[in-house]
Chain A
């Protein structure tokens, strides 16, 4: 195995162009596990740690440009206001040591349905900035996940950053694991209210071959909120609406039975999380709750 250590982004792109099978490594929290378990044995490892730019972020007018290697700890500490859903998701990633190393770029690169960042990115709305020697492009998050542990990257492309829309309303993230900390997701759910567009977006993790949005649930809720004038009157969402939203989120799942949980549990749990996160965000939107994220 050859270990490539480009000193700059340009060198990294050149290396990736020359060795399309090279596996990029930043925090190593995913890649090293795979190597240690002998699940993969890449010909080349492309170490991105010398490229400082990848660990920086920039808060723009509408969105945050988050370098691919910005560790989860930094997101929790610095971007809670702009990216509340992603900050909550970051909280649930593994252990403090791993949160100090791992970043969203790794989650996107691996594209495992169990990656904690995905539901938050789907709910917030995001674009993945990827680049190769051929040029740069932005892939909408909805088009990014193409299959089980597969993404829309070309062989010569690297993830440089992700542009996440700044929260224009309350966001929530919930994850079920069978331990109270440091646990891989059995399933996860992200929800964001977008009062500016009067829409709701969702993200489901570990309950389908890829991270997915519950689009039918979103459409139903968007229509129900509009119809009832909820965005304006700020009334409590009726339990029947919340229940139907939850049921549609469950229906958006395509889960499997595995050692972490049954398919029917996943479907059930996504529904519960959908209902609860909708309640929390909506209460927050109505301004009746001082804090909706849960203090931690």
Chain B
């Protein structure tokens, strides 16, 4: 079949300047996105295509007594209705790490909104109508919603007969994974403490709220295979999970990345991929599935809500003595990324501080709540919220300035993590705090103008709730640590294919990877790397697909590091080959070909002394050079299952925030005035993109501080606010000015010295805002997001 419309095409990017790393070259997709011309996966279209629709469970936990598809199948325009019984092979589950997620529910549903049946029809409305006509008879079961109900003696098991690799070491089958970290002697260290602070913290369920809902198009191919055009974060991970369910070898499932409208972790797991392929293979027609916003809230995993129990001690001169921590993450009905989130939450639970004696435990539960998995910050976010609240409590108790107290305990290069791993690159935690504190404060009472109160500058904004009454300013600080890349011994490699040739007399490089461009700007950076390494101006970025090796996931702040590293590496290999050709062709004309260090610059081969030896066009005339190679960062190790010791991480990212808020203390409304950030990025490959990442991450952290939360009814485990009417994300009026101070302290182990940057600002933003609100109100505020009722003492119902 012909390619559908909306298929991604090659993007050739020229540059007026050198356009190499360190320059703020503009994104090739920027103008298209701003003007509405960019083709997202939901815009794809194929002649004669059908529309797929998923029927989802209306209850959270139930046995399926029966499913009657008769009436749906009889509807005109309906081509197929599929249930579990129609799955073609013995592989009926999928999952990132544990294959516990049914493609379609079998005998039981475990969360609200679980896929039960599929419909393909010639019109989306027909497909929806037909799905509504499928009759599912549920026998409801009690719901498991928290640690107490999950581990009660008579608790139902969310998954019976577990045989995954965590099953053997967890204390209860409703615990996905448990990671203790024990180091030093907490009992002895506790004796040395002059002050002890304890806290119990709650982190709400945040949604990624990417703007482009899940969508894709599956096109059956003549060889019996299928071509899936899809918005995802990791093509090859999808492929590994899809192919066995379809009963196809991986080379018969072709995948092409289509336009992705944001991800933030929510596209690491499969959504409609297998469903669309099943319907396409069953009907022999292309099938498109697009979720609407309502379905999207059920169609991807969320950030783990968490309960965190912390006890810190400190000496009277302000040195931390110990940490006892227990972190309970709610993984919901299926494992998704829960084990890795547990690993991050536990290993980073101390934060960027020196604490030698620790007793830490993190677990993730199986419950009947919505499944939770990857989201920007991934376990480190929840921990940062708790340890930063603790730092403020300790500072108060010691009568110290909160920033000075943090600086006194800040980790530095060489500090051991609680896992015993030394931090082997710059860790400028104290410096970031110093910088963020030194930034000028925004002026007071900015709402006052000659024309009266400018309500846009006040809590409540245009809702006109205050003209200054009840408004109190508060300031808060926070700093965080995030690991970069996949940890715990994962083989975290990327592949890049780089080609260099002469087109129309000009040397051109083509970069082909399977990296998912989800909005992070990877395609811009790849072109910059190719220009820097190969001395060309014109770089073509090939669409991402599975015709090239895996690029790993666009997550864990890893793509610039790892796939960027792979592009750099392949460019270097291409350069060697180009120079070999040059030596072969022209070596006899100039001795420097054999003796000097040679570079590719400005379309020429030059010596390190700057002497031009040849035009690249002449070297490459009649020859094309192509290299596809895998590239790996330094290996990591798993954490010991009893002690948590091990060199589990490869790199860290640090950011600090100062939040300035104004709170209407009578109405409990908050206006964040400014969120100043200082972050070490190692090397800013594209300074403008760095700024965008930091400001975006900061804003996403603000969201979960004051508004973003998926509310799940504890009695039914059903989602109460699956819409943008009631799941609120910050608007521009909620987004403060975000001055950013960027440090570039190179990590000698990483390409160009860079650090992954995308997640760290999401960590410290939330606790900084909470600290500022506490500062303004004097309230303890142990949960996030904080809502008006928490600030006004009206959280209890009247009934």
- Residues of chain A whose beta carbon lies under 8 Å from any beta carbon of chain B: 33, 36-38, 88, 91-92, 172-184, 186, 257, 259-265, 267-269, 272-273, 276, 279-280, 289-296
Contact = CB atoms under 8 A, between A and B. Distances in A.
B506 interface: no
A179 B292 CA distance: 23
A91 B464 contact: yes
Contact of A276 (B449, B463, B465, B668): B465
A110 to B, nearest CB: 14
B72 to A, nearest CB: 16
Given A295-B449, A295-B455, A259 B463 contact: no
Contact of B667 (A180, A269, A290): A269
A175 to B, nearest CB: 4
Contacts of B795: 262, 264-265
B49 to A, nearest CB: 22
A189 B9 CA distance: 53
B725 A184 contact: yes
A257 B794 CA distance: 11
Contact of B452 (A182, A262, A289): A289
B2 interface: no
A191 B329 CA distance: 47
A9 to B, nearest CB: 31
Contacts of B461: 180-181
29 contacts: A36-B292, A91-B464, A92-B464, A172-B464, A174-B465, A176-B667, A178-B728, A178-B787, A179-B707, A179-B730, A179-B734, A180-B459, A180-B460, A257-B799, A259-B721, A262-B796, A262-B798, A263-B799, A264-B789, A265-B668, A267-B794, A268-B792, A272-B666, A272-B667, A280-B467, A290-B452, A295-B453, A295-B455, A296-B455
A280 B721 CA distance: 35
B282 interface: no
B248 interface: no
Contacts of B454: 294-296
B367 to A, nearest CB: 20
B449 A265 contact: no
Contacts of B788: 176, 178, 186, 261, 265, 269
B669 interface: yes
Contact of A181 (B469, B668, B723, B734): B734
Given A180-B669, A262-B794, 12 more contacts: A92-B464, A175-B464, A179-B728, A180-B463, A181-B462, A257-B797, A259-B726, A263-B799, A264-B798, A272-B470, A276-B467, A290-B451
A32 to B, nearest CB: 13
A294 B452 contact: yes
B798 A177 contact: no
B766 to A, nearest CB: 16
A262 B789 CA distance: 7
Contacts, number: 137
A265 B469 CA distance: 18
Nearest to A182: B731
A91 B463 CA distance: 8
Contacts of B162: none
Contacts of B459: 180
A294 B798 contact: no
Contacts of A257: 797-799
Interface string B290-301: 001010000000
Q: Which of B464, B668, B707, B732: most chain A CB closer than 10 A?
A: B464
A289 B455 CA distance: 15
Nearest to B724: A182
A183 B728 contact: yes
Contacts of B797: 257, 262-264
A180 B671 CA distance: 8
B271 to A, nearest CB: 20
Contact of B731 (A180, A267, A293): A180
B608 to A, nearest CB: 56
Q: Which of A259, A267, A280: most chain B CB closer than 10 A?
A: A259
Contacts of A178: 669, 706-707, 728, 787-788
A36 B294 CA distance: 10
Nearest to A276: B469
Contacts of B455: 294-296
A261 to B, nearest CB: 6
A264 B794 contact: yes
B711 interface: yes
A273 B465 contact: yes
B488 to A, nearest CB: 37
Contacts of A291: 451-452
B65 interface: no
Interface string B634-673: 0000000000000000000000000000000011110100
B731 A179 contact: yes
B413 to A, nearest CB: 41
Nearest to B797: A257
B456 interface: yes
A38 B462 CA distance: 31
> Top 3 A-B pairs ranked by shortest CB distance?
A180-B461, A291-B452, A294-B455
B320 to A, nearest CB: 36
A172 to B, nearest CB: 8
Contacts of A174: 460, 463-465
A257 B799 CA distance: 9
B466 A276 contact: yes
B128 interface: yes
A267 B464 contact: no
A293 to B, nearest CB: 7
A296 B462 contact: yes
A295 B450 CA distance: 10
B1 interface: no
Nearest to B731: A181
Contact of A263 (B449, B666, B711, B798): B798
